[in-house]
Chain A
């Protein structure tokens, strides 16, 4: 990438004559006609393309352009798709190949449509060969922007053009990408993650800080409801559930700094939301993992599981109808409205109480101790329920670490989180294996009752259960190893040093 800026802004319009004069005699220009251009920018709901420095847009005719952070550019013929779509539903080609690993399981959805007056001017060398394109575009407040689009293999020419244009009166170098400019007109903007007490000091009142975090979780729930109802992708429901689970954990672990009546009533309501959303999420996970599991079958053929997949899809459709009814219900809508109203008034008139640092120190320490106490009792032969209880305590500790991150000592936080994540991965493997194994058995019983599959399917499901058993045994074997660093003296010291 070039060190010289290859984009400029200017008050008012940019005329070709000024540009031509600046580039003369090294280059000449050939101006295209000015036209009105409409582009719609696409991204996942959680801004994966933006985070990767990639922009993806389509024009009115449906043709797509993907711009890579290194300046590379890919195009694709009009995709006759109805947005939002999964990347794998796009026509085969380099754009689809680049997008699938980055976006799945999230869908690509339109972020913003921008209509602007645009003009393309070609910059020619002495051979009359185009060495770069200049794209000028009107932006907000009557200003204009000019971007140099280098041609592959002509990087030094682009640098020279940038150097010459930087000398033009009224041109100021800019670093914003066209996507970032478009985002200024979007309804939503990329975030840097949710759910921590940002912009608070250690001495901030705990109630103020906790109210702020709960508002962020409430926003996450509200934002994900439409996508979960429309089933745009599976992660809307997942993120909604995570925000609900975090809300419940915070009410449980730090709720004593909030008014008592508030915590009691809403904890039950959010538990109801958790239960409402569980069946569809579980089925989403089974369906997602079915492909990889069927690929690992050795004695059964992968398509032996097709009737099982059909059963899950049908079952999911039924559960989704219940979920949508629940998310559209008066109870759920009232819960969101009332909860938001309570949170807005939560800090009114609050003048004293413990600081967020005091509460964080106390709760992090307690959460770690609880997890450690359970962890010490876990052996390779412990019952599944004990391991499950440990997993829940670890999740609570994780949520607290996320919420209080800004007031924690960076090094201790990072090291503790690393150990915790590693332990959680193993606990997840262990419990997912157990839950899925039980679920497959229950599904098999239901399918048998309905006569929904031939015998090969049940045999393949049996092989799946055996694989899940082996997977769980494996997780059991490594659990003790993962627990040691988490329970170590060093880790205990980190917890003590966590909140200065």
Chain B
């Protein structure tokens, strides 16, 4: 079971769009896929028309009185299930802080699902916290959408530095540019040059397109409601680059 997380310290960079569309594409390939919406805002949950509620909230999961298995909901798409967001996830950090091994809990919660899923996608809230440290310990690949800006590159460097300091298992970091505006020279320059200068930055980028913003309106992945759109094409290219297929 391969675990991916859409993660960035910054908000509004396209994490949810990444997680939702890539999870949908993986399921379309015939894989058994689980998407866990860890963001208490619940945008991914909303897009799949699922109630943003997990019985017992984050506390029940962290303390172990409920398993992740019990919280899983089927989406409208074959092979794609979702663990919904819950507003109470905002207290995750406090709950995790009380644990003996506070940075390993997400990984432990996912382990029993090994026999059910080929891939898990985590849609993470924007922050650096105990929860994000948990995510970094749980995943095989960190997918980092970045808006092309000098500060984003600095954040990417901080993140790779943080991960490389991990003892033992380290996730691979795969960053890519998101919300790219081709009319802006800085965007074009960074998209063209940075992948050649920094290891871990993918060559595929996701443009700023209104159809991606319409995902909340359509309540579904753009790869499902507009499979022939330029946006869907870009997400497919991104998924191919990530999986090397």
Q: In the bound complex, what is the Cα–Cα distance between A63 and B75 (angstroms)?
A: 20
B74 near A77: Cβ-Cβ < 8 Å = no
CB neighbours (8 Å) of A64 from chain B are 30
Number of B positions contacting A (CB below 8 A) = 22
Given contacts A94-B115, A128-B49, A152-B81, contact A78 B30 (CB under 8 A): yes
Given contacts A94-B117, A151-B74, A152-B81, contact A127 B30 (CB under 8 A): no
B115 near A75: Cβ-Cβ < 8 Å = no
B118 near A93: Cβ-Cβ < 8 Å = yes
Given contacts A93-B31, A127-B49, A128-B49, contact A74 B73 (CB under 8 A): no
CB A157 to nearest CB in B, in angstroms, measures 11
A-B contact pairs, 5 of them (CB 8 A): A97-B115, A129-B49, A130-B75, A151-B73, A152-B73
Choose among B71, B74, B78, B219 the residue that contacts A154 (Cβ–Cβ < 8 A).
Answer: B74
A275 close to B (CB within 8 Å): no
Within 8 A of A (CB), among B112-135: 114-118
A77 near B76: Cβ-Cβ < 8 Å = no
Q: In the bound complex, what is the Cα–Cα distance between A322 and B30 (angstroms)?
A: 44
B30 near A63: Cβ-Cβ < 8 Å = yes
CB neighbours (8 Å) of B73 from chain A are 151-154
Q: In the bound complex, what is the Cα–Cα distance between A152 and B76 (angstroms)?
A: 11
CB neighbours (8 Å) of A150 from chain B are 74
Within 8 A of B (CB), among A96-117: 97-98
Give a binary string over A5-49; 1 marks a CB under 8 Å from any B CB, 0 the rest: 000000000000000000000000000000000000000000000
CB neighbours (8 Å) of B30 from chain A are 63-64, 75-78
Give a binary string over B27-46; 1 marks a CB under 8 Å from any A CB, 0 the rest: 00111100000000000000
B76 near A129: Cβ-Cβ < 8 Å = yes
Among residues of A, the one whose C-beta sits closest to the C-beta of B119 is: A93
Among residues of A, the one whose C-beta sits closest to the C-beta of B30 is: A77
CB neighbours (8 Å) of B118 from chain A are 93-94
CB neighbours (8 Å) of B49 from chain A are 127-129
B74 near A75: Cβ-Cβ < 8 Å = no
B78 near A122: Cβ-Cβ < 8 Å = no
Chain A CB within 10 Å — which of B72, B114, B117, B118 has the most? B118
Within 8 A of A (CB), among B14-72: 29-32, 48-50, 71-72
Given contacts A74-B116, A98-B115, contact A152 B72 (CB under 8 A): yes
CB B205 to nearest CB in A, in angstroms, measures 27
Q: In the bound complex, what is the Cα–Cα distance between A127 and B45 (angstroms)?
A: 13
Inter-chain contact total with CB atoms closer than 8 Å:
54
CB B14 to nearest CB in A, in angstroms, measures 24
Choose among A72, A97, A122, A129 the residue that contacts B50 (Cβ–Cβ < 8 A).
Answer: A129
CB B113 to nearest CB in A, in angstroms, measures 9
Among residues of A, the one whose C-beta sits closest to the C-beta of B74 is: A151
Among residues of B, the one whose C-beta sits closest to the C-beta of A130 is: B76
CB neighbours (8 Å) of B115 from chain A are 94, 97-98
Q: In the bound complex, what is the Cα–Cα distance between A72 and B32 (angstroms)?
A: 12
Q: In the bound complex, what is the Cα–Cα distance between A78 and B50 (angstroms)?
A: 30
B221 close to A (CB within 8 Å): no
Q: In the bound complex, what is the Cα–Cα distance between A152 and B117 (angstroms)?
A: 14
Among residues of A, the one whose C-beta sits closest to the C-beta of B117 is: A94
Given contacts A97-B115, A130-B76, contact A77 B81 (CB under 8 A): no
A74 near B76: Cβ-Cβ < 8 Å = no
CB neighbours (8 Å) of A78 from chain B are 30
B171 close to A (CB within 8 Å): no
Q: In the bound complex, what is the Cα–Cα distance between A129 and B46 (angstroms)?
A: 11
B74 near A152: Cβ-Cβ < 8 Å = yes
Among residues of A, the one whose C-beta sits closest to the C-beta of B78 is: A75
Among residues of B, the one whose C-beta sits closest to the C-beta of A76 is: B30
Q: In the bound complex, what is the Cα–Cα distance between A153 and B74 (angstroms)?
A: 6
B79 close to A (CB within 8 Å): yes
Among residues of B, the one whose C-beta sits closest to the C-beta of A30 is: B76
Choose among A93, A127, A130, A153 the residue that contacts B32 (Cβ–Cβ < 8 A).
Answer: A93
